Structure formats: C-alpha cells, structure tokens
Structure 1
Amino acid sequence: METLKFLKTECGVEVLLNVLHFTSADSNYLKKVPFNTDFFEVVFFKKAKGELLLNDHQIEMTGNSVVFLSPYQKRQWHFDEGEQDFTILLFQEDFLNDFFADKLFAYRLLYFYQLDYPLKMEVGKETVQSFCTLLTEIKSELVHPKTDSGHIIRSLLYYILQKLNREYAAANQLKMERDNDHYAFQFKRLVEKNIKHKQRVSDYADMLGITRVSLNKAVKEQFNVTAKHLLKQRLLLEIKNYLFHSKLTLSEIAYELNFPKPNHLMRFFKTQTGMTAGEFLQANGNETTL
C-alpha cells in the first residue's frame, strides 16, 4: 500500500500546506486503491456520491459535507463517475503546531485523532461554499506570494480550522476548550507519541504530574469519554494499523506494543472488536498470515 508524502508547494511561501481541487489531486483519490498519507486532510465536498473506506469504517459520501482525515489512516475512495466536486486542504502536523506557535494546536481540534465521533460533518451549501472561497484565497497566496502572504495565510487558516472546530463541537455536543485546563489535550498528545510503550492511564498521569482522578476528570469533561476508553481505542487503532500496514505476525506486533504475551493482545483485540485478528482482516478484505 502506497504512502503519499507531502510535497512542498512550488511557490515562494515555505509552508507545508497546500490546497488542491479534485481535478489536480493525486490520481490515487480517483483510482479506487487503498493508500495513506503522512499529512492531515480536510476535504470539502460540494458534490459527492460514493463511499470512503477509512480503516475498517465505511463513510457515505454526500454533497455539502466535510471529512477529516489524520495521518496514516488507511483510506480508499469509491466515487461514482461524474458526481464529485471537492477541495482538499492538507498540511503536516509539525507545520500546524509551529505555524501557530502552539505544540498542542493539532490536538485542540476535536476532529483530528478522533476515535469516538464521526469523521464526516454535514454542513449547509452556503457554508461549504464560504469555506471553499477562503481556500481559494489561500491557494492564491501560495501561488502568487507577496511579502505579507504568510500573515494572510495564517489568519485564513486559523479561521477555517477554528470555525470547523466550533461547528464540529456543536454537532457532536462536545465542549470547546476551557482556557484554564489543558490536561486533556496534553494527554491526547502524549498518547499519540507513547502508545506503543505506555498503555496505562497512570503512566500518563505520572507524566503530567497529576492524579488519575484529575486526568480522567479533564478528559471526560473535554471529550465526553474516560481516559481509559480513549487509551484503549487508541491502542486498538495502533493494532489495526499494524495489521493493515505491516507484515508482522501477531507475536511480533505484541512485542512491538509491549504486551507481556501474544495471547494478551489477542484477548484485548477480541474483547474490543468481537472478532479475532484473522476474522477482522478477512472482513476488511485483507489476506495475511498471522
């Protein structure tokens, strides 16, 4: 399976950011083949008909909607012929955090690294058009940069991402960030960086210098799930990523993810999914030797 790497824009503004209309997007979007990327994508659909297979989930594509994709998620697009019109905003995580001088910026956006709520959001026709107009302005600044292009791009991008965050929070009844509480976002960031080796809530509470009770309270208030639930879902996603993207055996995956024994991983996977790893891969069209 191919991993699409971010290519710097061919313009004078040195940013790991781009805006693509589907007519100029990589052909993999339309070839109905599985792939992943090393960057974030926000896809704004004016018209769409078909389905997106994202890891082991199926998302129906419709017009006037937005889809949020995080790096290294296995995706496969199946568009009906002649029915699509979409624009893609794409960028790398380090760029986003550096661009806004906030190492937690990507984690404050509720739709990225999301494990419990939909990665598709329905919006009105006027709303998707207004976002696409702003994206056109960003593209213009990238292609024809001026001395103040970086500032204009920053302001437009910030507005788009924060506006989407507000609408996503409202659609899923999630709380926006509280000014005095960043533990939930720090936890989310630490989980992304340490999930292979640290899989207990107490590990992360110790890293943050707070109690498990305080950490769980912060996560519950922000994301409406417990810290343990978020951690289990992220570990499950990591196992699925290994199953999809590597040729490792279950024993080797168990070793990589710090399980004491392979059967501990198997039991965890069966408890979370109701299937064995072999059944899961077969159900998702993968044939492999475990």
Structure 2
Amino acid sequence: MEKDYRFANVTLPHPNSLLVIEPLDYSNPYDFQRPHRHDYFEIICVEGGQGTQYIDFKKFDLAGGQVYNIYPGQVHLMHRGSAYGVLIQFRKDLFEFIKPITHDQLYFNNPAFTPDQSTFNRLYDIAGQIKDLLLQEELTTISKYKAYSYLQIVLLTLVEMKDKDSLTINNSQLVSLLLSLLSENIYSCRKVADYCELMNCSQDKLNTACKNALGKTVLELIHEELLLEIRRLFLLSPLSLKEIAYELNFDSPANFSAFIKSHTGLTPTELQASILEIYK
C-alpha cells in the first residue's frame, strides 16, 4: 500500500512563541514516528540513553553528550529509544533579536557535534536556564530577551566549534551562507553564477572557499542540494515522478531522469524505492 506523506511538513506547535524548550521525550503534536520536515530550527541535546535518528537520509546513533542541529527543510526521523535530553526549537524570525549572528550560520554541512563534557554541560545548563525563563507565569519582555541571549550563547558555541574545523572563519561564513541560499533557492537557481550574484562574490573566491572548507566545488554542492531535494520530495511529496520533475523546474522528465541516473546510477523509480525502503 502506498504511503501518504502529505502531512509531513511540521510547524512549531506554539504559534505565539519564537523559542520553545521541550524534553526529548515530549508528546509531539505530530506523528514523530514518520519522516517529516520542520519549518523551524531544532537543537537536540542528548544527555543520556540510546536511540537513532535520520537527518536527510543519514543515520546517527544517539548517545549522551551529543548535540545535533537541524535546520528548516531537512528531513528528520527520530527513534528515541531510551535517549533523553532537551530540544531547543526556534523560528527564523528570532534572529532579528540576536544579531550579529545570522540564520545562515546554522546551515552546517554536518549536523552532529560531540563537544567535550564541560562544554556539553554548559550548553545543557543554558538550555535549562532558558526553560526556567520561558516557564515564568508572567513572561516579561526582559525575560524574553534574556532567553534569546542565552540561545545566542548556545548558537555561537556551535558556530565556534564548526569554525575550528575550517580553514578560516571568513571561508566558513561564506560557505554557510551558500548552503543557506542553496536550501532556499534550489528550485530556481542552478548555476554557479546565480549564487555568486546573490552573494556579491566572484566564482573563484566562492569555489576556493568551498574547496577549502568542504573539498567540493560550488557546482558539486548545487548538484548535491538538488539531489537532496529530489530525495526529500520522493519521500514526502504526494506528487508523481513526472510532477516532481516539473516542480523542480526540469524542462522534461527525460532530463530529470538523466540527472538522477548520472548522480546515482539509478532511475527515478529505483531511487524512490530505495528511499522508501529506509523509512519502512
């Protein structure tokens, strides 16, 4: 029987809040046992226990001391098992209150962090402080800003940890911005020149930054993001393969099939079947 993924897009369940703290085992308002994609950011801090999760088709084994960052649009599925910890969920709008950090700095190529124990404990304690502030019976404007400031410390810590793995901070920020723009514009922008124009950056500079940070060219990253979005739609969209091809602005189903075949060695039907097999 064909699966129905039409209700897989998830919004933050608190419409009047920009920031929410929940325990890892909270009662989700949606079916968390099915793959879904959020329209908000989520930081997962695993204090202990074991479980598994898939983030954009990559499997991760949950263990104590881990932190994960999930950005809007990524496909997510978690099998919590015995894992426990906290979730920090926040809308993109919140970045208006925590400048100079920007949302694109959280579009990490790798969502997993394993900080040293003292750093993890500090992040976990900060999450607890945020939760205490948000639970106040009368949440004042100052308390909200304090909570946002605490979140800023968490996010800056994650950015700092990723920057240590990159050649320079400037390169890292440039690549993070590109990853953000890819996620937001992949339906309409497919050329390196498109992104260089959006970023007011030369192709040589952007290619050098990407090669230094990720070992890939800009065009390779564009094709990876396009293939990733194809996989997401194959899993979550009720559209037919032909409709997905036109949804992604391919000029014909044949070119759509040729792109998939050249990057995976599979036909669209075979690729979709392999993806659905993962999430059975």
Q: State the Cα distance separating 1:54 from its structure 2 match.
A: 2.7
1:161 maps to: 155
Q: State the Cα distance separating 1:72 from its structure 2 match.
A: 3.0
How many angstroms apart in 1 are the aligned matches of 2:99 and 2:119? 28
Superposition CA RMSD, Å: 2.8
Runs (5+) with no aligned partner, structure 2: none
- Pair 1:243–1:251, CA change in 2 (3 A): same
- Secondary structure of the corresponding residue to residue 68 of structure 1: strand
2:10 maps to: 4
- Secondary structure of the corresponding residue to residue 6 of structure 1: coil
Which one-letter code corresponds to 1:257 in the other structure?
A: L
Runs (5+) with no aligned partner, structure 1: none
- Pair 1:221–1:280, CA change in 2 (3 A): same
How many angstroms apart in 2 are the aligned matches of 1:239 and 1:150? 39
C-alpha contact (below 8 Å) 1:28/1:35 kept by paired residues: no
TM-score for both structures, normalised by structure 1: 0.81
Render the CA deviation track for 1:145-188: whole Å, top value 9, x for unaligned: 34521332232111111112222343xx2245329x96544433
Matched, 1:132 2:124: yes
- Pair 1:182–1:79, CA change in 2 (3 A): closer
- Pair 1:274–1:67, CA change in 2 (3 A): farther
C-alpha contact (below 8 Å) 1:46/1:125 kept by paired residues: no
2:254 maps to: 263
How many angstroms apart in 2 are the aligned matches of 1:186 and 1:23? 32
- Secondary structure of the corresponding residue to residue 266 of structure 2: coil
Q: State the Cα distance separating 1:250 from its structure 2 match.
A: 2.5
Which one-letter code corresponds to 2:145 in the other structure?
A: H
1:253 to 241, 244, 249: 244
TM-score for both structures, normalised by structure 2: 0.84
- Secondary structure of the corresponding residue to residue 147 of structure 2: helix
Which one-letter code corresponds to 1:159 in the other structure?
A: I
C-alpha contact (below 8 Å) 1:109/1:162 kept by paired residues: no
Query: Structure 1 stretch 211-220 or stretch 196-205: which is displaced more?
Result: 211-220
C-alpha contact (below 8 Å) 2:37/2:73 kept by paired residues: yes
1:143 to 121, 124, 135: 135
2:85 maps to: 86
Matched residues, number: 270
Q: State the Cα distance separating 1:100 from its structure 2 match.
A: 2.4
Percentage of matched positions with identical amino acids: 23
How many angstroms apart in 2 are the aligned matches of 1:231 and 1:216? 12
Which one-letter code corresponds to 2:87 in the other structure?
A: I
Render the CA deviation track for 1:39-63: whole Å, top value 9, x for unaligned: 1111000113121123322211122
